[in-house]
Amino acid sequence: MKSKIYKYSSFSEYSIINILNDELFMNHYSYFNDPFECNCKITAGFPEINSNSPRLKKIINAWGFENHMDPVVLDNYDNLVLSLEGFEPNIIKIIESARISCFSKREDNLMMWSHYADGLRGFCLEFDTKFILDNNDVELLEVLYQNNPSEIDTAEIAVLHDQVHYHENAIYEAEIKQKNILLKKLENNSLKEDLKIYNDSLDTVYKRSNVIHQKMLATKSIEWSYEEELRIILHSKNNNNLGVFMKYPKKSLKSIIIGQKMPVKQQQTIMKIIKAKRNKILIKKASVIDGRFHIKITDM
């Protein structure tokens, strides 16, 4: 995942207030330009063990098995389904609760400067993702660009959540045992191997869950790929589609890049605000390169 992300904006009262307050506006998807935002096909319920369907294979794989004909799977699948009854997530509710702020991977994206920063009359904020993610209950997702909307399987998600709990508990118990000074060296080495297996499995589950979140909240038509978009997402408890403000750590804002066509008076306003902040924020300039369809970023 990118360590630096860039937010393009026009110069407005709202965008300036957000800089003053160290805030990002997190919006509901329904206010975005793309009419296909968060559009996905949702499939619910567990398939029969004898269905031999692609869905079944995906669910079995999420459970940690490669073959749906594995004797352990055949003996325990019905119990798994029964244990997860009522635990399939409400995808619509998850999507509706999401509040999103959009970024790009690059500071010199010509189309982004044109469409979102008012044709070089606006500005671009550079953020360090580490500080934002460490200090907020949010996730950073890279947008997937594809030809068709994604499919979301609630049964697969239920199994993945179950596996998270299983491996987290296994890791906790193994770490407790490892601290027991009465353990023999051989047993301790065995625990280390178990811990590695549990941690590796948990990492795999997290990665699969992340992909599902991308499919739900960060998938767009291939025609939007020029944006090279990333999204910061938080979930609101509000029972409406109103946006919310998220406070970001002051040290996460690394620079502000001013478009070369921004009026001097507006440039002075931004410089005054940035210089009044105690943390060091670089001020840069974005300008066109003569003879080329490119934008260069230089220090001011």
- pLDDT above 90 covers what percent of the chain? 83
CB contact at 8 A, 283 and 298: no
Place of tokens 């953020």: 127
pLDDT of 183 > 70? The answer is no
Residue 299 identity: D
Spatial CA neighbour of 11 closest among 216, 285, 218, 258? 258
Q: Tell me what pLDDT residue 137 has.
A: 87
The rounded mean pLDDT for the chain is 93
How confident is the model over 236-265, as pLDDT tens digits?
Answer: 998 899 999 999 999 999 999 999 999 999
pLDDT at 76 (0 to 100):
96
Phi, psi for residue 27 in degrees, rounded to 5: -105, 160
Contact 283, 19 (CB under 8 A): no
Q: What percent of the chain has pLDDT over 70?
A: 96
- Contact (Cβ atoms closer than 8 angstroms) between residue 155 and residue 161: no
* Residue 182 scores a pLDDT above 80: no
3-state secondary structure 224-251: HHHHCEEEEEEECCCCCCCCEEEECCHH
Q: Which pair of structure tokens corresponds to residue 105?
A: 């991977």
Pairing of strands 253-259, 123-128: antiparallel
Residue 136, helix vs strand vs coil: coil
* DSSP strand pairing (23-26 vs 244-247): antiparallel
pTM of whole model > 0.75?
Answer: yes
